Structure 1
Amino acid sequence: MRKKSSGYTFLDMTKEVMEMEKKPLTVAQIWKYGEINNLTDKIGSKGKTPLNTLQARLYIDIRDNENSIFTQTSKRPSKFYLRNLECKDGADSEIVEIEPTGYNERDLHILLSSYVYASPEFRCVTKTIFHERTGKTKKGYNQWLHPDIVGIHFPFEDYSDRTLELQRLVGDCPYKIYSFEIKKNLNFTNLREYYFQAVSNSSWANEGYIVALDIDEDESFLAELKRLNNAFGIGVIKLNAENVSQSVVMFNSRQNENLDWDTIDRLAENPDFDQFIGDIKDDADIRKIKSQYDSVYNDDDKAAEYARNKHII
């Protein structure tokens, strides 16, 4: 029988800790004091990275809830406090308003490209699709049509030239095309919109994925994500900006043996996708990857440095 949630949240714990300590605290300090006072055990579902979850819940509550009881008092290090206690105690820290995340979704592209390029599970090169380059049509005609990134796995290192030629003759395609939809975060608030956007613009490929940097680890949310994956087949990847190679495929994509050629033909109206198709043909003809695809980082440290410069981490 599934354990019922206690209803006690990360924010409930944070409030209790701050009322006891009566000073601005970092996320690590909040969690530490919560453990000391046996408050963390009261949280129904903590997930594998509770500090990340706690930080995300605080940021979102301050940013999106105009009646939030919390405030951020400093950036480096990031410290938080209760608004009512700040007013009463006169904490000697500057109040910092939480602004929307300062990076764009497209800033995450190179991190995903680096992961799938090196991962044994994908080993693919990618191409970013700029949907705004598609010719203008009737309103809504191209909505949820273009994926953010497409990828191709070339089998040149998998098989000999003779085997590849035999596969071509018998109609067994050794290539695999991927489609990726990238988001900053994935939670109950945006799940249906984002997931079905991925269903719409990624189901044409051999494998389609929705990718996010922050994914809610609540037990009920993960259960719903699994249900959608079972029903519609779109996989889920959690990016790790600090260690790109440690990004995780949370749910595998359902493999489609046949591509949706009607959708591919529509996508080819976009010059980026049209170039992608041409590059695949050119590289397949010479059986070497010679075309220009998205850049990647071959080192986690360099990827992390990029992420810090973009304020992703």
Structure 2
Amino acid sequence: MAYSFLTLAKDVLEKENIPLSIEEMWDTAKNLGLLEKLSSSGKTPIRTLSARIYVDIKNNPDTIFEQVCKRPAKFFLKGKTAGLKEYEDKQKQEKRHQKHKFGERALHILLSSFVNADEHFKCSTKTIYHETSKREKSGKNKWLHPNIVGVHFPFESYTENTLKLFDILKVNPYKLYSFEMKIDINLSNLREYYFQAVSNSSWAHEGYLVALHIADDPELIDEMRRLNNAFGIGVVRLDAEHFMQSEILFSAKEKESLDWDTINRLVDSNPDFKKFLDDLMEDIKIGKIKSRYDEVYLEEEQMYQYAQKNSILS
């Protein structure tokens, strides 16, 4: 039996598992080596592919194809709900990014203010600018740098005598945090973002993936829970209107020991991270927070005005 245009479309859509335009189907088929299987000698085979699909959808009640959008026209296989949902989530994400008038770093003060006041963290933070890192071979430092790092100082939690006892008993009352910041998280980007956080947070006691918008999707939450159980990175959802109502959706699994090899690599690579460690060591030495860390807001009204000014609430 001859290999038909409709069979080619079916094979391509099954392989890609997302809606595609006629042009995208054709290019994918070319990359997969499927065009050689066609027994067509027409001068405009891509138009033939388009015509066959449209005719099949219009005239065949048992067609396996459906048009899922018009501009541009894209087609998918009936019943492939998972792939279609992933595609729709990605489209929503792209539209949301297009309308955002702010970048991820505009959210840093929101996270810094929350973790500074929250009972679980009570930490001071430092933004890490990856642009300041040493230039390395392409890909070498991919997913190396966290967006924000933090340290919990126990100075306000324990008396001076207790801190001295910690020192004698070699108990560490300090805790280091790593945060990967995103604007939106949904099913289509969760795994990429999560493993980015896994990669650049391995050095800390606790690592977190943080976002302003997290899709209200039970399937997404279940996948987050599975990843958290397997890899230990926590998830924080920010609230720009009431920053103290930001919440830890999943707590990170605390590591007893630090990844010193990665810490050493970060120190060697990035001056911001080196300054962060220098500052926290100086503050530990003198027993109080004297160094400069990221700015925080103490009042929700301040944060609300900031969020309005930077279009974060829109």
| 1:204, distance to aligned residue in structure 2 (A) | 1.3
Query: Match of 1:296?
Result: 296
- SS state at 1:212 partner: strand
Offset from partner CA, 1:227-249 (integer Å, 9 cap, x none) = 00000000000000000000000
| Greater Cα radius of gyration, structure 1 or 2 | 2
- Give CA-to-partner distance per residue, 1:86-134, whole Å, 9 cap, x none: xxxxxxxxxxxx9341100000000000000011111100000001101
Deviation at 1:162, TM superposition (A): 2.1
Do structure 1's residue 273 and structure 2's residue 269 form an aligned pair? no
Distance 1:224 1:289, change over 3 A: same
Aligned length: 225
C-alpha distance in 1, partners of 2:139/2:171? 36
Matched, 1:310 2:310: yes
Q: What 5-or-longer segments of structure 1 have no aligned partner?
A: 1-55, 65-97
- 1:60 maps to 92
Question: 1:170 and 1:258 mapped to 2: Cα distance?
Answer: 17
DSSP-derived class of the 2:239 partner:
coil
Structure 1 runs, 4 residues or longer, greater than 6 Å off: none
- Counting only pairs closer than 5 Å after superposition, residues 13-162 of structure 1 correspond to structure 2 as 60=92, 63=95, 99-162=98-161
Give the drift of 1:62.
8.6
Q: Which residue in 1 is equivalent to 2:257?
A: 258
TM-score of the superposed pair, with normalisation by structure 1: 0.69
Which residue is equivalent to 2:74? none
Query: Aligned residues: percent identity?
Result: 52
Letter aligned with residue 289 of structure 1: I
Which residue is equivalent to 2:226? 227
What is the match of residue 56 of structure 2?
none
Query: How many Å separate the matches in 1 of 2:134 and 2:274?
Result: 13
- Distance in structure 1 (CA, Å) of the matches to 2:94 and 2:281: 50
CA distance in 2 between counterparts of 1:61 and 1:110 reads 23
RMSD: 1.9
Q: Tell me the amino acid that sits aligned with residue 275 of structure 1.
A: K
Name the SS for the 1:99 alignment partner: helix
One-letter code aligned to 1:297: Y
Residues 93 and 184 in structure 2, CA contact (< 8 A), matched pair in contact too: no
3-state secondary structure, aligned to 2:278: helix
Q: 1:301 to 1:265 in 2, by over 3 A?
A: same
Structure 1 counterpart of 2:153, which letter?
Answer: F
State the partner residue of 2:204: 205
Show the counterpart of 1:26. Answer: none
State the AA in 2 paired with 1:137: E
Residue 61 of structure 1 deviates from its aligned partner by: 7.6
2:92 partner letter: I
The letter for the 2-side match of 1:164 is L
**Are positions 1:173 and 2:205 aligned together?**
no
Amino acid paired to 2:184: N
For residue 122 of structure 1, what is the amino acid of its counterpart? F
In structure 2, runs of 5+ residues without a counterpart are: 1-87
Shift of 1:182: 0.4
| Contact kept in structure 2, 1:203 and 1:234, CA below 8 Å | no
Offset from partner CA, 1:159-201 (integer Å, 9 cap, x none): 1222212212222110000000000010011111100000000
Q: Normalising to structure 2: TM-score of the pair?
A: 0.69
